[in-house]
Amino acid sequence: MKKTVLLLVAWTAMAAASISAEVMDRIVASVDGEPITLYELRQFVSQKRAQMPNLPAVTDKEALQALITEKLVAKEIIARGIQIRDEDIDHYIDRIKQQNHIDDDQLREALKQQGLDYTKYRQQIREEIEKVQLLNKVIRAKVTISPEDVHRYYEAHKQDYARAGSVKVRQITLRLADDAPEPIVTAVMERIEDVRKRLLKGEDFATVAKQVSEDPLAADGGDLGDIEPSKLLPEFEGPLSKMKEGEISEPIRTKVGVHLLKLEKRITEAFQPESEVAAEIKEKLYNEALDERYRRWIVEDIQQHHYVETKL
């Protein structure tokens, strides 16, 4: 009886293993008559996760479509006679080492830590270069962005290229520590008031700034240039918002010291000229068109030259 039970257990285990193997070897798709098994699909997903640990979860159907796409691309590479030389791979790896400031030993050690064999790494690079050359042949040549395309995009998204209003300002600074004793504060405030009186009487702000200002801009007559108010000291924004062109501010106390401002010019909000952003827009439109053309090539064009059957 004991022997019979052991035989039954052994048979059950063998049957389960046989069923599992049958399930994993089940054909889930075919490309030009070449079968894709469930086991191959699982291996494909496992390899991708090893290469990209942050890869989001995908369904079996999504993973299968990605595997089919890789097989179709590989077939197109062969059909178009694309071949990558070992020297091309060497040059690619040299650029990677230069960009990351590492030598060959450091690269191999980094690959080892990622569980990647150097030979497999070179093969990955070969496949990536092949894909790039394929895309250059079948897609990039068909994607063009005209000046009219750029202009239409600029007009439709003009608000994206708005410039904040700016001001042209000069300043005079007298140093005054936050914790300065009262007699020092009084003396500095009297000095700044005297300076302001000189300016109100008509003395040139830039000239006075060179004479009395105690900040690095004194040599330039206190010129802060054209600047957005929000990029100045926070204490400056309020007074500047109420000032008219040519006006001198009241003394403004900050942690740096005490200041006088002169608003020389207020520049209203405007838009970056199309000429300044045309290259940026063209690159954006080109990349979007490239992505869309690639999607259509994968989903539509390439399918017409191959027979694909899925069973998931």
Whether pLDDT at 19 is above 60? no
How many C-beta neighbours within 10 Å does residue 107 have? 16
**What's the whole-number mean pLDDT along residues 180-186?**
94
Q: How far is CA 289 from CA 69, 82, 295, 297, in A?
A: 20, 24, 10, 12
Token duo for residue 52 = 């990209």
What pLDDT score was predicted for residue 302? 80
* Rounded-to-integer distance, Cα 82 and Cα 243, Å: 68
Architecture of 165-268 per CATH? Answer: Roll (3.10)
Place of tokens 């039954």: 8
Which one has a higher pLDDT value, 230 or 221?
Answer: 221
What pLDDT score was predicted for residue 9? 40
Among 175, 308, 168, 304, smallest CA distance to 245 is for 168
Between helix 2-24 and helix 38-51 the angle, nearest 10°, is: 70
Whether pLDDT at 118 is above 70? yes
> What average pLDDT does the chain have?
86
Least confident of 23-27, 142-146, 232-236, 247-251: 23-27
* Rounded-to-integer distance, Cα 209 and Cα 171, Å: 7
Place of tokens 């504060």: 185
CB neighbour burial string for 144-179, b if at least 16 within 10 angstroms, e if fewer: ebeeeebeebbeeeeeebeeeebbbbbbbbbebeee
Which DSSP string do the residues of 11-66 spell out, in sequence order? HHHHHHHHHHHHHHT-EEEEETTEEEEHHHHHHHHHHHHHH-TTPPP--HHHHHHH
Q: To the nearest whole percent, how much of the chain has pLDDT over 70?
A: 92
Which one has a higher pLDDT value, 60 or 203?
Answer: 203
Ordered by start, the domain boundaries in the chain are: 2-77, 165-268
Residues in the chain: 312
For the four alpha carbons of 178, 184, 190 and 191, in that order, the dihedral sign comes to negative
Which one has a higher pLDDT value, 183 or 54?
Answer: 183
pLDDT tens per residue across span 64-103: 888 988 888 888 888 889 989 999 999 999 999 999 999 9
Is the pTM here over 0.85, yes or no? no
